Copies of this chain bind each other. A is one copy, B any other.
Amino acid sequence: MSQLKDSMIKKIVFLGAGNVATNLALAFKDKSFDIVQIFSRTEKSASGLAKKTGSSFTIKASNIIKDADVYIIALSDNVLDSVLRDAGFSNQLLVHTSGSLSMDVLKKYSSKYGVFYPLQTFSKSQPVDLNNVPVCIEGSDKNVEAVLSGLAKCISGAVHTIDSETRSHIHLAAVFACNFSNHMYSVAEDILIKKNMSFDILKPLIEETARKITLQNPREAQTGPAVRDDKNIMEKHLKMLWGAPLYENIYRFVSESILKSRNQ
């Protein structure tokens, strides 16, 4: 409870009930914060998360209660404006959780605003332990920044104060490191399915690939035909991609980029 007092936040409202909202709401509930209300545009999502956090819920933005200590916004970037307009905030503390949006998108909706960006990939179904997850915060003034820092420290041991421009680059880096590496797993699975092989055979390799870069930087850790400039194997591989042009293009450009990195 001392952490809770430090952060000067007790009552939290979540706008959004997707992967990010679910993981953050459960983490705060676990630290005895009061998740007073969930807003989501679909009743199923709103009620689903509200049930897990013992909260009320609404699907109407104008029904969002106004006396919470912080409003954590985890909505799709493209619906954020319409929801905030309908909600009618004035001086409530509003924070969004987006990696790519500038903090200032919230400026016209409140005098106190900020960012609370957890750098992690979330699923609703498998909540993540947030303790080691970096949280990037930013505040409209020093007071807001202090409040958000205190709040973030209640759930994470890795809190960073980061401006919007730097955060957008971290987000871009995360798209490569997480979203794009996951798609590489997905292409691999497709290749194995075509030969009736289980994806399971690759799991120890994927685990070790991710573990290696905790010990050496990714450029040093690079292995495979591209970094050896083994043209025979690369030509053979391109022919094996059953004329799937996107996979062929990915193979070509990633291989070329690996070789270029080696020679830099």
On A, residues with C-beta under 8 Å from B are 19, 76-78, 100, 119-123, 125-126, 128, 132-134, 158, 160, 166, 168-170, 172-189, 191-192, 194-195, 197, 199, 201-219, 221-228, 230, 232-233, 236-237, 240-241, 246-247, 249-251, 253-254, 256-258, 260-261
A209's contact among B134, B178, B197, by CB below 8 Å, is which?
B178
Copies in the complex: 2
A205's contact among B174, B180, B258, by CB below 8 Å, is which?
B174
Cα distance A204–B158 in the bound complex, in angstroms: 10
Contact B246 A249 (CB under 8 A): no
Contact B202 A126 (CB under 8 A): no
**Distance to closest chain B CB from A124 (angstroms):** 11
**Distance to closest chain B CB from A128 (angstroms):** 6
Q: Which residue of B lies closest to A220 (CB)?
A: B123
Given contacts A201-B119, A208-B120, contact A177 B188 (CB under 8 A): yes
Contact B224 A178 (CB under 8 A): yes
**Distance to closest chain B CB from A239 (angstroms):** 10
Given contacts A182-B221, A199-B217, contact A172 B237 (CB under 8 A): yes
Given contacts A169-B240, A205-B178, contact A183 B123 (CB under 8 A): no
Cα distance A175–B168 in the bound complex, in angstroms: 29
Contact A222 B183 (CB under 8 A): yes
Cα distance A214–B250 in the bound complex, in angstroms: 24
Q: Which residue of B lies closest to A162 (CB)?
A: B197
Inter-chain contacts of A166 with B (CB < 8 A):
195, 197
Contact B209 A182 (CB under 8 A): yes
Contact B257 A246 (CB under 8 A): yes
Q: Can you list 17 contacts pairing A with B, beta carbon distance less than 8 Å?
A: A19-B223, A76-B230, A77-B232, A100-B237, A119-B202, A120-B208, A121-B212, A175-B226, A175-B251, A177-B202, A178-B224, A181-B185, A182-B218, A183-B222, A186-B219, A188-B218, A189-B219
**Distance to closest chain B CB from A232 (angstroms):** 7
Inter-chain contacts of A192 with B (CB < 8 A):
169-170, 173
